[in-house]
Amino acid sequence: MKRTPFIFALLLVVTIGLGLFLYYKFYSKEELTIWDTIPSQTVLVFEVGECEECLGQIRSTSLLTTLRESIFREYGTAESSKLISNFLETKNRPIISLHIIKKDDFDFVFYLPINKATQVELQLEALGQETKKKSQREFNGIEINELPIDGRIFSWAFIDAIWVGSFTPFLVEDVIRTYKSDRSSNFKNLIREATVLPTVKNDAGNIYINLKGFSDWLAVFSENQSVLPVLGQASVLDIKQRQGNLTLNGFSVTRNEDQSTILSSVRGQTPVPFMLKNLISNRSLLVTSYGISDGSELFKNTDLFKRKDIQDSIRSFSNIDVTSLFSGLGREIVTCYLESAGQSIARVLLFSSSNSQDWLKSFDLLSKASEKEDSIYLERYSSYEIRQIEIDNLPEKLFKPLVNGFKQTYYTSIGNTIILSDRVEELRKFLDDIDKEEVWGKSIYYNQFLESTLLESNYSIYINTSRALAAISDRLNANWSKVYASANRNHFNAIGLGAIQFSHLNENFYTNISWSFSPKAEVGRNEQVEIRDRIQVNLDYAITSKPFVVRNHATKRDEYVLQDSLSVLHYFSSDGKRQWKNEIQNKLIRGITQIDYLNNNKLQLFLVTAGKLHVIDRLGNYVNPFPVSIPQQNVEFVSVIDYDNSKKYRFLISDKTGKLWMFDQEGKNLEGWKPKNIEGPLVTPPSHYRIRGKDFILAVRQDGWVYLMNRRGENIKGFPLNLDMRPGGTYFLEPGNTLATSNFVIISRDGIKVKVNVEGTIVSREPLIRTSVDDQFSLIAENSNRLYVIARQNAKELTLLNESGKVILVNEFVGKNVVDIQYYSFGSGNDYIVISDKVQDLSYVYDGTGKLLTPVPLESTGIVLKQENQKTSVVFVNEKSLTILPLVD
């Protein structure tokens, strides 16, 4: 009997508990949050923070201005902008999600608690009454309102206590579908590991990113819809802005079972410092860097470890132990992306290793085993040996997923660092940059930015934003290509360097994203500000040469040299102060070239006057044994040749009759050039080319005979070659993988484009489009010989066309006057064209799209462009004055 009350009480408790369970299970609804309704296909979510001041600072940056005028351009119209402003009030606690809506576009969904949507509703109600075009429809039992705003349909709905809207109607439907589902596949569940990570309170907000979706979103902009590597699973980031930098930091996660992501490849590695910055060329558009503390562990995460067939394939060439090689790998694997010929992108891969000699020995074995010609490709360039491995995509086979591409492989080394590239000419340029210390580690500009980033990481992406955007502009699809072309280029140029970094910490990755930008006040500075920055120097006598821009090897600043009517050479510092003058007693012939005559990283000036060679140091003193007398008085052209960048210079002189003399550094006339007589005047100075490790000297006569010679002045087999035309302008080399596929492009004055290969075969002969019977054509090579343009001139106009014949610009001012045309490409869309009317002494400066930058032509007898610290200036002379003027795009 005593047990009866206990049993009764127990049954009562069980009954009440079961009742409560059934009630909450079937009758009581869990409170709905915005996060419950966000679809799983979402790319990212921006949860606006509580700090109105923080958000306001970000809105006012030039970075946000650029985004508003480009990828968010459709939200810049009047009513759309007002609607978004009402929505983004921090007191409303809004949330925005980003979605891909088609293969080349995306849009947003806006969420508010229903009790915070009053202001937005009032605006929509007023617009509905004004336009009388508001409509309703039902979807899955939810009423959707629709209203045309600025030419687009805005849809919105109320879902329980949530207001949701979008300019893409089916996105609102996706939200309703998610609400009606069991919500197990919503965005929050997809990135569940990231949602529990800590975030900062009282800031501008938090961004939650589905990293797989983010890779898909980047492909929206691309023409070929290429698949981009997935970084990881998800990230959650806080937003800050200070002192010209926008910073997002937080954490990223990658699931253990997912071995295909970039972050999974470096899981277990300790973060390392970015030491290879001392070898990264300033020309790099984008750099990826992997920090490796354990090479053996990395090997286990590569495709090579899982692919025994690839290992066996490598062993079939030579008995190489890849496991042993990877054990010494560390501490960095870096890929640099650079602009190359024909607007293509070249790659240079660097990796450091404690067993670099073993790597080199293995590469040498692969080079020998894979050779397809009679001899191994071996080129001595400066202090380097460059070799080739003829195995397709070798770097990718070794390091995938960290590295991709590299159809060909050329390699060399510096200390314990091995350097590979898919193009030998780009590898040479990269080595030149290292030798000249034109690298990130020696640059104030890059170092100042790098100091604001993580000093140690496991994976970093560094981007020179404006240059990278310009470089890939021709790879954008039609939709985004139009957006980029129509946007204000000054706003893009205001965006500086960016870094995306991941540093392994416990089971996650600390994440830091940093982007620099110019203050908004500096974007699109007006002409009055630029006039303030003008430097003008006046001389006592008329200036007879064009200005020459030279580099001070001590300060790395640009300086200026010119000659006056008394044959006095004047040297000015970067701020226009004269440093010295030298009476060279005769007129300069052609120009001034900087050389490292003593091979000590100090630069001197090389120049020629009638009967003399001159080498003058930075202080205005002659370098022994100069000046050197030569018998040639009637000099027409001068070329400086350094065959292998060894600083063993050769000076090639040609006269007006077609005789060529070559002198060594001491002024000794070399065998084969005493003189080499090509029996006719040249159209342009002879040029040296290195193709497949072999040296060639090209000279083209005015009557169309082409001479290709070796170092000793001997004609190459197949030359001289008669093109049966009169060439116009200069010529251009299109390098190929073999001698037979390496072509010189030459254009005749009457409009025939001819391609001749190194073996003396005319590959093609193509007529150019004529618009008038008096059209005259010429080829204008770009300053670094990466590109060329075609000039077509008649009495009415001068037209410049790109390599494929598309019109770049039309000048209607010069007519058939004698003109000098210069084409500059400072990299990644920073292209300029200068047209100088030599009859009127007027110069016109255009950007690469054909926009005239000098509505009032510059009065000049000589003009050049230069770029220093990412800023372009025009340097010109007229009568007695030298002017350096910053260029406003």
Domain shared by 16 and 42, yes or no: no
Q: Which residue has the tokens 């450091």?
A: 352
Length of the chain: 889
Helix and strand element counts for the chain (H, E): 23, 54
Q: Among candidates 575, 525, 571, 565, which has minimal Cα distance to 541?
A: 565
Same domain for 309 and 188?
no
> Would you say residue 712 lies in a domain?
no
Domain's final residue, options 437, 466, 492: 437
CA 606 to chain centre: 33
Domain shared by 76 and 2, yes or no: no
Is the same domain home to 283 and 151? no
Report the SS3 class of residue 196: coil
- 188 plus 333 within the same structural domain: no
DSSP string, 503-528: EEETTEEEEEEEEEE--GGGTT--HH
Residue 822: phi and psi, rounded to 5, are -120, 140
- Domain count of the fold of the chain: 3
Give 640's strand partners. 651
42 CB burial (10 A radius; 0-12, 13-18, 19+) = buried
Residue 357 falls within a domain, yes or no? yes
Q: What is the DSSP letter of 618?
A: T
C-alpha to C-alpha distance for 418 and 766, rounded to whole angstroms:
43
Q: How many CA atoms lie within 13 A of 867 on its CB side?
A: 15
Residue 648, phi then psi, degrees to nearest 5 = -100, 85
| Cα 702 to chain centroid, rounded | 38
Residues 212 and 83 in one domain: yes
- Tell me, what's the pLDDT at 9? 57
Same domain for 81 and 196? Answer: yes
Distance in angstroms (rounded) separating the CA atoms of residues 468 and 476 = 12
**Same domain (yes/no): 198, 306:** no
605 residue type, one letter: L
Beta strands 881-886 and 535-538: pairing type? antiparallel
Contact 708, 728 (CB under 8 A): no
**Please, what are the averages of pLDDT over each run of 10 residues along the chain (889 residues)?**
57 60 51 92 92 78 74 71 80 92 93 91 89 92 93 93 95 96 86 84 88 92 77 93 86 82 91 96 95 94 88 79 90 93 86 94 90 78 94 91 89 96 94 94 92 95 88 82 72 84 93 84 42 84 97 93 97 96 93 95 95 96 96 94 95 96 96 96 96 95 98 97 97 90 96 97 96 96 92 97 94 95 86 96 95 94 92 95 89
In this structure, the dihedral spanned by the alpha carbons of residues 173, 175, 181 and 184, taken in order and rounded to 10 degrees, is 150
Structure tokens at 769: 């489009």
Cα–Cα distance between 695 and 709 in angstroms, integer? 9
Three-state SS across 81-138? HHHHHHHCCHHHCCEEEEEEEECCEEEEEEEEEHHHCHHHHHHHHHHHHHHCCCEEEE
Same structural domain for residues 382 and 351?
yes
pLDDT at 17: 60
> 322: domain range?
279-437
Look at residue 369 and tell me if it is in a domain: yes
Tokens found for residue 96: 């925005």
- Are 316 and 195 contained in the same domain? no
Is the alpha carbon torsion for 516, 481, 771, 752 positive or negative? Answer: positive
Q: Minimal CA–CA distance to 801: which of 817, 790, 812, 816? A: 790
551 in any annotated domain: no
Asked if residue 290 is part of any domain, the answer here is yes
Task: Please give the Cα distance from 229 to 266 (Å, whole number).
Answer: 14
| Domain limit, last residue, from 203, 221, 239 | 221
User: Is 875 within a domain?
Assistant: no
- Domain membership of residue 824 (yes or no) is no
Of 331, 332, 399, 394, which is closest to residue 366 (Cα–Cα)? 394
Report the predicted TM-score, pTM, of the whole model to 2 decimal places: 0.86
Token representation of residue 567: 């044959």
Q: Which of 437, 471, 493 finishes a domain?
A: 437
Helix axis angle, 118-131 relative to 78-87, nearest 10°? 160
157 and 21 share a domain?
Answer: no
Q: Report the pLDDT value the prediction gives residue 380, as an integer from 0 to 100.
A: 92
Could you tell me if residue 701 is inside a domain?
A: no
Cα 422 from chain centroid? 17
Could you tell me if 44 and 3 lie in one domain?
A: no
| Predicted local confidence at residue 362, as pLDDT | 92
Report cis status (omega within 30 of 0) of the bond before 94. Answer: no
Peptide bond into 720 cis (omega under 30): yes
